[in-house]
Structure 1
Amino acid sequence: MGVPFEALIPYAIILGMFGFTGAGLSKVRHMQNGGKRARHSVDQWDRQMMDRDRRLTGFLRGQTDRVEAPQGFELSNPWRVERRFH
């Protein structure tokens, strides 16, 4: 005796929702990375370079081929200087 197809409808709905959610999250991550694939195993150097690219272009994964930095970049130093005791 077969299983009535009505018993499989909830499973199809759940499977469809998982697929829709996975595709939506993948698209959001793709858009957040400026249209590039997501990065894995990002170390400190990669974070530093991505922060530099963000300060140069405005996008975390953006890159530029301009030789000179934009106006105001010389004041956009990520290093924080400690206050000296006098």
Structure 2
Amino acid sequence: MSHHAIYDSMQDNCADILTPTCPFCGQQGWITVPQAGADALIEGEPVQDALPEVDHRLREQITSGIHPRCFPGAEFGEGIDPDLIHGP
């Protein structure tokens, strides 16, 4: 059984996941994922197996709450990598 807070999304065939509080910035977040992946999470599948198509940084946010924008600066002290904010 999932310990994730998963909600119906306004997007077709998707679900929204409320992520845990980020230990660096103190904020929660939302990730929109395919409904099939959310269903797999509800069934207890590990995040990496349930959502292989989701970027690994977003899977980390689902698991730990750490936002992609928070991790680089907190981990390496080099500031925020703009590519993580704007995407590829």
Pick the TM interval, shorter chain: under 0.3
More strand per residue: 2
Q: Which has the higher contact order (CA 8 A, sep 6+)?
A: 2
Structure of larger gyration radius: 1
Q: TM-score, normalised by structure 2?
A: 0.24
Which one has a larger percent helix, Structure 1 or Structure 2?
1
